Chains A and B, each alone.
Chain A
């Protein structure tokens, strides 16, 4: 059974940075794309970023405006999301999710972690 465990969330002031991690068990990164999805308090889901399994393709929602960077360490089976220039509106639970296929093009995120909360506030 696939397990995804996020960490790295916490409180940060506007303009600050955080790095989120997602350790994956029973997942072979080279065969599966991964995504980060966030959910602001009391709001809906928002896809943030994705990374392909077999090639270095990375993808971002337009709303991120170049502030976040997704990456992965295949040897550690760990997915990362570097959050820079954080804004109050970035406050959310950040979930990592496994794609059904090797690229960010299946429309199906079939396994999800429990999320890590990022709070941006002064």
Chain B
């Protein structure tokens, strides 16, 4: 199972919106609405931000939203803030009880 494809980096100024894409295949993202997103700051454990494509855990800011179209899922961060600078990973369920992560995207706040 190959890793899902994400852009290496995206950037934006404070207050702007950025969108991170996550491209998989009909074996994972395209078939299952079981895509999650994780934020990881340097030296820290990943933190879940989105699950089931577009649901937010209660502690996550409304500025984070998810969507999916075909084999591509997306994470949008609106009203970009300095503390949003981090690495972001998508993850999808794959049939047979396995998961696959994306390649990761570094969000840079200019």
Contacts and interface: CB of A to CB of B under 8 A. Distances in A.
* A and B pair up: yes
Interface of A: 35, 37, 44-47, 50, 52, 57, 59-62, 95, 97, 100, 103-110, 112-115
Contacts of B104: 44-45
Interface string B39-52: 01000011110011
B45 A113 contact: yes
A4 to B, nearest CB: 9
Q: Which 3 A-B pairs have the closest CB atoms?
A: A107-B34, A108-B51, A59-B97
B97 A44 contact: no
Interface of B: 1, 3, 32, 34-36, 38, 40, 45-48, 51-52, 57, 87, 89, 91-93, 96-104
12 contacts: A44-B104, A45-B46, A47-B100, A50-B97, A50-B98, A59-B98, A105-B34, A107-B52, A108-B52, A109-B38, A113-B45, A115-B45
Contacts of A106: 34, 51-52, 93
Contacts of B100: 47
Contacts of A103: 97
B45 to A, nearest CB: 4
Contacts of B102: 44
Contact of B48 (A46, A59, A95, A108): A108
B1 A109 contact: no
Given A62-B1, A110-B57, A47 B99 contact: yes
Nearest to A103: B97
A107 B97 contact: no
